[in-house]
Structure formats: structure tokens, C-alpha cells
Amino acid sequence: MTDWKAVGVGFVVMLVVGAGGLAIPIVGQIGAGLIGGFATGYLAGGSLGNGAWNGLVAGSISGIVVSLVAAFLGGLIGLAGGPLGSLFGGLSVFVLGIILTLIFAIDSALAGAVGAWVKG
């Protein structure tokens, strides 16, 4: 069962650490997923599977939110190429963001399992 309080806290931690991690592009985002996933799993507690599930949910939600914001900004930047450029700019950024969300949600799930294990 999903612990929405733990997911919410993990989501906020991922956004805050991820915003600070923009200075180190890949390492900062992976670190945000690991720290936020660990916090989610620790707060959720329970079994390894429960921590992993809650970490996965938190990582997925934060990735989707970031993807939507990036797609909106990509659409605005693509607007310089006209309406069609805006559509393709925003859509391609969104699709890439969803793929990266799936990849980065894995590290949140692993960290969530570790967090639940540490608490247990």
C-alpha cells in the first residue's frame, strides 16, 4: 500500500536536491533520486518491497512533473520555429523526459528499499 505522506516528502526532497543538483547535471539528478528515494523508503518503512514501491512512486511523480515543465519550456523555445516547431520541440522533450523518468525511477526504488531496510 502506498504511503502518500512518505511519497510527498520524497517528492519534495527530490525537487529540492535536484534543483541544487543542476550544477552537476547527471550526478546531481541521480543523487536527488537516491536521496529522495531513501527518505521515502525510510519514512514508509515496512518490507523492502514496500520501500521500493514508495520510492518508485515518488521518483516517477517527480520525473513526470519535471518532464511536463521541461516540455512546456521546450515548446516555448520551439515557438521561434513557428507553431509546428513549438509542437515538435515540446513533444520531443516530453517523450525524452518520460523515458528518463522510467530510468531514474529505478534508482529511487532501490534507494527506497535500502531506506526501508535501514529503518526495519
Q: Identify which of 31, 36, 42 has the alpha carbon closest to the alpha carbon of residue 3.
A: 42
pLDDT tens profile 63-112: 888 888 878 877 777 777 777 777 777 788 888 888 878 877 999 999 99
- Cα 105 to chain centroid distance, Å, stands at 6
Tell which residue, 23, 97, 119, 94, has the closest CA to residue 86. Answer: 94
Q: Read off the pTM.
A: 0.83
| C-alpha 43, offset from chain centre | 17
Name the more confident of 86 and 39: 39
User: 25: Cβ–Cβ under 8 A, 6 or more apart, which residues?
Assistant: none
Asked if residue 10 has pLDDT above 80, the reply is yes
Chain segment 16-35, per-residue pLDDT in tens:
888 887 677 777 778 888 99
pLDDT at 114: 96
